[in-house]
Structure 1
Amino acid sequence: MEGATAVASGVRELLPVLRDRAQETEDRRTISAETIKSLAATGFFRLLQPARFGGHQADPVTFFGCVRDLAAACGSTGWVASVIGVHNWQMALFPDRAQQDVWGDDPGTLMSSSYAPTGRIEAVDGGYRVSGRWSFSSGSDHASWVLLGGIVPGAGDTPADFRTFLLPAADYTIEDVWHTIGLRGTGSNDIVVAGAFVPAHRSLSFADTARCVCPGQELNTAPLYRIPYGSIFPYTITTPIIGMATGAYDAHVTYMRERVRAAYAGVRAAEDPYSQVRVARAAADVDAAWLALTADMTELMALAAAGAKLPMRLRLRVRRDQVRGTELAITAVDRLFENSGGRAIYTSHPMQRYWRDAHAGRVHAINDPERALSMYGRGEFGLSVADAMI
């Protein structure tokens, strides 16, 4: 853990620069190569990478803590760091041959992703033929491989199989379509594939990740790689939003300490009891979201380290807390934005960017609260639950 602690310290040292660079990142519509290089230099991208490839295979709470700090400084940077950073965890679940393909020559290789199964997959001799368009591939400009979701059609009594396919940059093109109102700096462009062959070893079934039994676990035996994809990946999306809420809170409190409300006879905003209550509510929501995340991840890791089975009730609770964490963070950002007054709508004010970025992150499919909460309710009532994201 000493290495992971040093990474967290290095990330914190970067925050002032990333905060100053936030507007430039938004205007550029992608993270700069300099930012990616600086993050890599801290060792951040190696936090969830297996030790045999020079990674730290750190506790997820350490990883998510860094993500929260990054997103508090710059929402787009935190988002890209989170989704690219978690790919090293998923790569550890692939067959060793795929891991060697990606990391054998360069353990610092980065991957982007797009998991919605929008393309066409055909099973062929030795692997799969992959074609189509995938959207929202955050940080794709800085990746030399991509992870794409796709469904292999069933045949006869064989059910369809939802899988992840790993492709090198030579097999796809990136189409610049990223013109959005929030998370503008993430460069979440489209991936276009025209009939690329993907060998079987570069594919991983979501059914295996849901069962926590994957080929990569034969060599990557750390407890980190025995927790569900449906637990760690959803928090990869929620954590940056909690970070954005944290950044919004810090910016709001700093601003309100000096703000004078002209409409109320020059009263200092900090003296307004209603503002004080709103700040307290926002702080409580952000804290609740983060405390649930850390408690869930700590319990998952403790069970994995003990070699114990991960109970379905816990896995459902993780998803419940994840969507609620997003809701709490969004509620906090909204309350802070409303309490900031008219100046918050100026593009020079950081509150408007936190507000836009958080709401852009909220519409990610994994943040659909009714679906996750319904699964939790089914489990509590003793009904069966089948979903790739638990």
Structure 2
Amino acid sequence: YILNGRWSFSSGTDHCGWIMIGAALGDREGNALTPPQVLHVLLPRSDYEIDPESWNVVGLRGTGSKDLIISGAFIPTYRTIDADIVLGGNAWQHAGRTETLYKFPFSCIFPLGITSSLIGMAEGALACHIAAQKERVAVTGIPIKEDPYVLYAIGEAAAEIAASRTGLLETVDRFWDKTERGEEVSFEERAIGRRTQTAAAWRAVRAVDEIFARSGGGAMHLKTPMQRFWRDAHVGLSHAIHVPGSIFHASALTQLGGEPQGVHRSMI
């Protein structure tokens, strides 16, 4: 294959010797195929350029998710894999691997790396908020620890963030155990798992909003970490893996005996 194009959001690319990206197949003239066909492809550092000015954002600056530019790179077939095989859960059969990790649903393990980071940000924001409020006195002269409304907000946020973490891990543990027993994780189970994962992300960030709004003006200073947690969490929530619409649609329709089609099967 010959690869050309520009790819955005390549996180951590400055530190990599190789990249794995998605590539849409075209005909010999470069026109996209219908229906679309996508491959995951591997390229060495010598085959692509990094746009150093392409990641200037309000949050998650540390991910360095810069654009890649590829022009006429040759890719041998052995460095490609059909994306549908990966998403369908059959890649392990093609590769001859039988370990649980390789048989584990891709639609569960891929979002896990992103949502777990988001929940970690929420936990960091909560810890930062609690530390700052211990000795804080409001402009009214009342210590924060005597304000029942702020205490309620902290307690509720802590519970929501903990529930997000628990829901995410419970799904992974249950899917892992089932896979290890040699049982297939059904589409309905995967859809519900994605619903749990997506809801966990939104729940955790809403909790961050509640405590950030009660952190006082000092939290707005760039010298304090609270504003960074808030910015990073919101940018993390904008990742495509956290878009709830089609996921909630698919999980509900499947539970009602329907058969989701098209975009409603995406990343499930």
Give the aligned partner of residue 87 of structure 1: none
Give the aligned partner of residue 167 of structure 1: 43
2:76 maps to 1:199: yes
C-alpha spacing 1:143/1:225, structure 2 compared with 1 (3 Å): same
Give the aligned partner of residue 189 of structure 1: 66
Preserved CA contact (<8 Å) 1:217 1:225: no
C-alpha spacing 1:381/1:153, structure 2 compared with 1 (3 Å): farther
Give the aligned partner of residue 223 of structure 1: 100
Partner secondary structure for residue 339 of structure 1:
coil
Within 1, Cα distance between the matches of 2:18 and 2:68?
Answer: 11
Return 5+ residue gaps in structure 1 as ranges: 1-127
Within 2, Cα distance between the matches of 1:364 and 1:294?
Answer: 20
Give the aligned partner of residue 10 of structure 2: 137
Offset from partner CA, 1:261-280 (integer Å, 9 cap, x none): 1x21x211111100111011
Within 2, Cα distance between the matches of 1:290 and 1:333?
Answer: 14
Preserved CA contact (<8 Å) 2:135 2:143: yes
2:149 maps to 1:274: yes
Within 1, Cα distance between the matches of 2:251 and 2:229?
Answer: 30
Partner secondary structure for residue 349 of structure 1:
coil
Structure with the bigger RCO (C-alpha within 8 Å, sep 6+) is 2
Match of 1:371 among 246, 252, 257: 246
Deviation of 1:286 (Å):
0.5
Per the normalisation by structure 1, the TM-score is 0.64
2:136 maps to 1:240: no
Preserved CA contact (<8 Å) 1:135 1:191: yes
Amino acid at match of 1:201: Y
Within 2, Cα distance between the matches of 1:314 and 1:199?
Answer: 36
Within 1, Cα distance between the matches of 2:93 and 2:267?
Answer: 19
Deviation of 1:211 (Å):
2.2
C-alpha spacing 1:200/1:342, structure 2 compared with 1 (3 Å): same
Within 2, Cα distance between the matches of 1:360 and 1:284?
Answer: 22
Offset from partner CA, 1:75-104 (integer Å, 9 cap, x none): xxxxxxxxxxxxxxxxxxxxxxxxxxxxxx
Deviation of 1:165 (Å):
1.1
Per the normalisation by structure 2, the TM-score is 0.92
Partner secondary structure for residue 244 of structure 1:
helix
Deviation of 1:354 (Å):
0.2
Offset from partner CA, 1:26-56 (integer Å, 9 cap, x none): xxxxxxxxxxxxxxxxxxxxxxxxxxxxxxx
Partner secondary structure for residue 71 of structure 2:
strand
Structure 1 runs (4+) deviating above 4 angstroms are: 215-219
Give the aligned partner of residue 54 of structure 1: none
Return 5+ residue gaps in structure 2 as ranges: none
Give the aligned partner of residue 23 of structure 2: 150
Preserved CA contact (<8 Å) 1:172 1:191: yes
Preserved CA contact (<8 Å) 2:20 2:43: yes
2:210 maps to 1:332: no
Preserved CA contact (<8 Å) 1:207 1:388: no
Deviation of 1:220 (Å):
3.5
Within 1, Cα distance between the matches of 2:34 and 2:63?
Answer: 39
Give the aligned partner of residue 19 of structure 1: none
Within 2, Cα distance between the matches of 1:346 and 1:268?
Answer: 21
Partner secondary structure for residue 220 of structure 1:
coil
Give the aligned partner of residue 284 of structure 1: 159
Please give the root-mean-square deviation of Cα atoms over the aligned residues, in Å. 1.8
Higher helix share: 1
Q: How many residues are paired up?
A: 260
1:1-390 mapped onto 2 (5 Å cutoff) = 128-153=1-26, 159-176=35-52, 177-214=54-91, 218-261=95-138, 263-264=139-140, 266-386=141-261, 387-390=265-268
Amino acid at match of 2:133: M
Deviation of 1:388 (Å):
4.0
Within 1, Cα distance between the matches of 2:241 and 2:152?
Answer: 31
Deviation of 1:258 (Å):
1.2
Deviation of 1:153 (Å):
4.1
Within 1, Cα distance between the matches of 2:144 and 2:159?
Answer: 20
Within 2, Cα distance between the matches of 1:385 and 1:296?
Answer: 21
Within 1, Cα distance between the matches of 2:204 and 2:94?
Answer: 34
Percent identity between the two aligned chains: 37
Partner secondary structure for residue 232 of structure 2:
helix
